[in-house]
Each structure stands twice: as structure tokens, then as C-alpha cells.
Structure 1
Amino acid sequence: MTPHDLLAETGPVRTCIGCRERAAKRELLRVTLRTGGDGSLAVVPDPAGTAPGRGAHLHPTSACLELAVRRRAFGRALRSAGSPSVDELREHLAMSETE
């Protein structure tokens, strides 16, 4: 199946920054970078996909999250210097997986 065929069947296609598989945008969770008051960086979930700024997409599973952390994909995908915290995203995924 070519990328064009996938787009025709499912709509917009994005790549998961964890496992690097292409999937329909609706199957992935968009994440963005938030800067705290103390200058700390945190990756936060954006389920609505409406937060301003650069975003990245991830399968909503802890396995893809851990792959992305191990590969240091968040810093590259979100173009940030340093290693952002993923604690809030990890909590969001844990709650989603238990529901």
C-alpha cells in the first residue's frame, strides 16, 4: 500500500515518533511542548489537537512512549534543546490504558 492509498482510505497520515510506523492521524495522540515558569520543559498531551506550536504524534501506548524516550525522539521532533520531562504524558497514558 502506498502512502497515497493510505491517505485516500484514512485521511491524514502521521508517523509515530516511538515506533516510527505510519498511521491515520486519528489513531495517534498529538503531544506538544510546554515551558514551565522556571524554564523547565514538559511534553504534554494534546488530545484535541488544537494547542498552538509544534506538535508530534505518538501511539497512545506506554510501549511507544518508552521507545520515544529511549530514542530521545521528543527533543528532535519538538525541536527543543535538552531533554523534556514526560511525566504528565506518562500519567495521561496510564489513565487511558486503565479505562
Structure 2
Amino acid sequence: MVRFVLSGDAGTGWLVRLDPTSAAPGRGAHLHPDRRCWQAATRGGFARSFRRRLRVEAPDRPWAAGD
């Protein structure tokens, strides 16, 4: 499983970021390392997990299997 965390605030906007060490503070969401899970998360899964509107930033490096 790969962990993503929520960062930012209501003023600047919420942003989902990759947490490769699984050590970042705050609420996290875990995904299977699979492109289909990433697509589902960016279509609304992250918004449901974090219970707010947000932007999703694609990771700088591939993290999913098959990338």
C-alpha cells in the first residue's frame, strides 16, 4: 500500500501528496500500487477519504506497479 496525505489549508487549498516514508503527520489515505486505484482516487476517492474538495498532485516519480 502507498500512503498519501493531505496538506495545505482552507485559504490556499488542500493538496494530496505522496508520503513515501509513511511518516508525515495528519490524516492519510492508502492506495494499492495500481494505476486503476490511482484513477479511482483522483476521480473522487481522495475527496471522499479526506471529506473535502481538494487538488491532487501527481507524484514526481512513478510509484504504481507498471509505471
Q: Per the shorter chain, which TM-score range?
A: 0.7 to 0.9
- 1:73 matched to 2:45: yes
Change (3 A) 1:41 1:60: same
Q: CA deviation at 1:34?
A: 0.8
Distance 2:20 2:12 in 1: 24
Runs of 4+ in 1 over 4 A off after TM superposition: none
1:85 corresponds, among 45, 55, 58, to 55
The equivalent residue for 2:14 is 41
Considering only aligned residues, what root-mean-square deviation do their CA atoms show, in Å? 2.0
TM-score (norm 2): 0.73
Please state whether the residue corresponding to 2:4 is helix, strand or coil: strand
**Rg larger in structure:** 1
Q: Return the structure number with greater helix share.
A: 1
Change (3 A) 1:53 1:91: closer
The equivalent residue for 1:63 is 36
Q: Return the structure number with greater strand share.
A: 2
Please state whether the residue corresponding to 1:68 is helix, strand or coil: helix
Identity of aligned residues (%): 35
Gaps of 5+ in 1: 1-27
Distance 1:64 1:74 in 2: 11
Give the AA of the match of 1:46.
Answer: D
Q: Which one has more relative contact order, counting CA pairs under 8 Å at least 6 apart?
A: 2
Gaps of 5+ in 2: none
